[in-house]
Amino acid sequence: MVRRSCIVGCGSYLPSQVMTNDDLAKRVDTSDEWITQRTGIKSRHIAAPGELTSDLALAAAREALAAAGMPGEALDLIVLATATPDNTFPATATKVQAALGMRGGAAFDVQAVCSGFVYALAIADNFIRLGQARNALVIGAETFSRLLDWNDRTTCVLFGDGAGAVVLQATEGTGGNADRGILSTHLHSEGQHYGLLWVDGGPSSTQTTGHLRMSGQEVFRHAVTRLAEVVEEALHANGLRPADIDWLVPHQANRRIIDSTARKLALPVDKIVLTVDHHGNTSAASIPLALAEAVNDGRIRPGQLVLMEAMGGGLTWGASLVRM
Ligand code: COA
C-alpha cells in the first residue's frame, strides 16, 4: 500500500495595508508602467508595524486547519519556510506551535528563500512517507518589507508580505484514492550563485539584519532555465506529459518568468494560478498563497493535478506534483 501526504486544507493571510505601484513612485524613481511591464506586479501587501512573520503564519495556519477540520493539537509536525523569522532563534515555527496548542511532535523552520515552500513541502512529505508524522502543517510566511532597501528601486518594487499554509495528512490510499496526494518532490541548489540574491547582513557576518541585494538579470536567466528543467524532471518522474497538468501554481516572482515556464509546457494562461499582480513576490509564501486562493474560490478541485515550482536565493529551486 502506498503511503502518501494528502493536502486536506489550505489557508492564507495578507496584511491589510496595500501598497500600489503609484505609492512606490512617490518614494523612488519608478512608475506603474515600468513595474507592470517588467514584472506584472500592480500592488503588494505590507505588514503593519509590530505585525510579525509569526502573526501572518498563525493566521494562515488557523485557516488551513479550519479547512481541514483539524484541531492544532492533532498536528505532529510543523515545517515553516521563511527567510524573515521573528528572531534569529528560536524557530518561528515553535511560536506557531505554542499558539496552536500543539504539545508534541516537532516544529522547525526551513530556509530556502523563495523556494522555501517547495523545500518545506518535500521535508514534511518525507516525514509522512517514512511514518514519522501523520498530520503536518507546512507554512510559508514572510515579512520581506523588513529586508528591503526602500531607496533601491531595482529591488523594493518587487516584494510583498504574506503567508500561506497547507495541512498534510497521511493516507494509505487504495482504490479511487490511491493516486491522491504529493506524487513527488524535486529539490536542487547551486551554492556557487550565493551572491546573486542575498541579504548583506546576518548574526555571524555583520550583527545586523541587512538588506536584500540582487543581480536581477542573472537571477532571471537562471530561473528561466532551471525551472524548465525541474518541471520536466517532475513530469518525467511520474510518466506524465504537460497536457496532463490541470494547474500550474508557480512561485510568483515575475510574470515574464511564469510566462516562459508556461510557454515551454505549452500551457494556456487559464491553467496558471496568477497572483503576482496583487501580491508581488512574497518569497516562501507565494505558492501556498496562490494555492489557497485557487482552492478556496473553487478553481482547483479534488482529483486535479497541480504542478508547483519555485526558484530562490542560494540559488535554490524545486518542484512538486500533487494530485489534489
Ligand atoms: N523603475 C524604473 N526603472 C528601473 C527600475 C524601477 N523600479 N528598476 C530598474 N530600473 C532601470 C534600470 O536602472 C535600468 O536602467 P538603465 O538602462 O538606464 O541602466 C533599466 O531599468 C533596465 O534595468 P534591468 O535590470 O536591465 O531591467 P530588467 O528588464 O532586467 O528587469 C527585473 C529587472 C529585476 C525586473 C528583472 O531582472 C527580474 O525580474 N529579475 C528576476 C528577479 C527575481 O525574480 N528575483 C526573485 C527570484 S526569487
Same domain? 288 vs 310: yes
**Could you give the number of structural domains in the chain?**
2
Same domain? 19 vs 159: yes
The pLDDT confidence band at residue 251, using thresholds 50, 70 and 90, is: very high
Same domain? 25 vs 62: yes
DSSP H or E run through 225: helix 216-237
Whether 114 sits among the annotated catalytic residues: the reply is: yes
pLDDT, mean of residues 76-84: 98
Same domain? 155 vs 262: no
Residue 193 DSSP symbol: G
Pocket-testing residue among 154, 261, 309, ligand 1, by greatest number of atoms within 8 A of Cβ: 154
The pLDDT confidence band at residue 178, using thresholds 50, 70 and 90, is: low
Same domain? 98 vs 167: yes
Residue after which a domain boundary falls, among 173, 191, 215 = 173
pLDDT, mean of residues 290-308: 97
Same domain? 195 vs 137: no
Query: What confidence tens digit (pLDDT) does each residue in 125-154 have?
Result: 999 999 999 999 999 999 999 999 999 999
Atom of ligand 1 nearest to the CA of 154: 8
Same domain? 131 vs 191: no
Check 186, 211, 251, 279 and give the catalytic one: 251
Query: What confidence tens digit (pLDDT) does each residue in 17-71 have?
Result: 999 999 999 999 999 999 999 999 999 999 999 999 999 999 999 999 999 999 9
Q: Domain range for residue 159? A: 2-173
Interior angle at CA 317, CA 180 and CA 10, nearest 5: 40
Ligand 1 center to 116 CA (angstroms): 23
Distance CA 46, CA 212 (A): 16
Are 140 and 285 in contact, with CB atoms under 8 Å apart? Answer: yes
Check 114, 135, 156, 279 and give the catalytic one: 114
User: Which strand ranges, in their side-by-side order, compose the sheet holding 181-189?
Assistant: 181-189, 316-323, 305-312, 247-250
Q: What is the pLDDT of residue 172?
A: 87
Nearest CA to ligand 1 atom 23: 154
The reply to whether ligand 1 has any atom less than 6 angstroms from the CB of 258 is no
Are 15 and 48 in contact, with CB atoms under 8 Å apart? Answer: yes
The pLDDT confidence band at residue 176, using thresholds 50, 70 and 90, is: low
Same domain? 210 vs 129: no
Distance CA 257, CA 39 (A): 9
The reply to whether ligand 1 has any atom less than 6 angstroms from the CB of 115 is no
Residue after which a domain boundary falls, among 154, 173, 192 = 173
Q: What is the pLDDT of residue 128?
A: 97
Distance CA 292, CA 65 (A): 12
Whether 186 sits among the annotated catalytic residues: the reply is: no
Ligand 1 center to 183 CA (angstroms): 36
Same domain? 13 vs 116: yes
The reply to whether ligand 1 has any atom less than 6 angstroms from the CB of 253 is yes
Query: Nearest CA to 68 among 163, 142, 139, 136?
Result: 136
Q: Distances in Å between the alpha carbon of 256 and those of 96, 105, 120, 223?
A: 35, 41, 25, 11
CATH number where 283 lies: 3.40.47.10
Same domain? 164 vs 55: yes
Q: What cell numbers appear for 320 in the block?
A: 512538486
Q: What is the pLDDT of residue 1?
A: 72
Whether 281 sits among the annotated catalytic residues: the reply is: yes
Same domain? 188 vs 271: yes
Are 281 and 195 in contact, with CB atoms under 8 Å apart? Answer: no
Same domain? 120 vs 10: yes
